[in-house]
Amino acid sequence: MSKKYLFILTSLAIFNCACESNKSNEKNGNFTYELEIIDSLTIDYLGNLELLAIQAEKDLFLFSEDNQLMIFNKAGEKVSVFDKPQDAPDAFGQFVLGATFSNDKIGVLGISKFNIYDMDFYLEKSFKKPYPHKGMIYSGFDHLHAGKKAGKPTFVAFTGGPQVDARSNMFQYYQEYNTLDLIDSEQESFSPIIPFHPNSRYAKGTEAFDFIKPHFQVQDHIVYFTHQNDSLFYQFDLDNHAEFKSEKIPFDKFILNRGYEIGGQQDYETPVDRSGEITHLFQVEDRHVLTYRSGLKLNELPGNEVSSEERREMISKLDPEKLIVREGDGSYSQPSIITKRYRISRVDSKGRIWAHQNVHEMEFEPDQITVYELKLVRKSSK
**Which pLDDT tens digit goes with each residue over 147-183?**
999 999 999 999 999 999 999 999 999 999 999 999 9
Longest alpha-carbon distance in the chain: 60
- Quick one: average pLDDT of 306-333? 94
101 touches 91 (CB < 8 A): no
At 174, give phi and psi (nearest 5°): -80, -25
Give the Å distances, CA to CA, from 226 to 213, 336, 342, 382.
Answer: 9, 19, 23, 30
- Selection from 153, 150, 157, 179 nearest residue 239 by Cα: 150
209 touches 266 (CB < 8 A): no
- DSSP, collapsed to helix, strand or coil, labels residue 86 as coil
pLDDT 10s digits, 94-141: 899 999 999 899 999 999 999 999 999 999 999 999 999 888 899 889
| Dihedral sign (CA 372, 275, 163, 7) | negative
- Quick one: average pLDDT of 278-303? 96
Chain CA centroid to CA 245, Å: 20
Any idea which of 2-11, 124-133, 150-159, 367-376 has the lowest mean pLDDT? 2-11
Give the Å distances, CA to CA, from 344 to 73, 165, 243.
Answer: 19, 35, 30
- Quick one: average pLDDT of 216-241? 97
Distance CA 245, CA 233 (A): 8
- Quick one: average pLDDT of 56-84? 96
- Quick one: average pLDDT of 30-51? 94
Radius of gyration of the chain (CA): 21
Is the pLDDT reported for residue 12 higher than 90? no
Give the pTM: 0.90
Any idea which of 26-40, 290-304, 324-338 has the lowest mean pLDDT? 26-40
- Quick one: average pLDDT of 213-219? 97
The helix (H) or strand (E) run that includes residue 226 is strand 222-227
For 321, residues 6+ apart whose C-beta sits below 8 A from its C-beta are 279, 291, 292, 293, 337, 338, 340
- DSSP, collapsed to helix, strand or coil, labels residue 284 as strand
For 357, residues 6+ apart whose C-beta sits below 8 A from its C-beta are 341, 342, 366, 369, 370, 371, 372
Confidence of residue 77 (pLDDT cuts 50, 70, 90): very high
Any idea which of 24-28, 71-75, 312-316 has the lowest mean pLDDT? 24-28
Cβ burial of 377 (10 Å; 0-12, 13-18, 19+) is exposed
- Selection from 236, 234, 237 nearest residue 225 by Cα: 234
- Selection from 144, 150, 138, 202 nearest residue 173 by Cα: 202
pLDDT at 362: 63
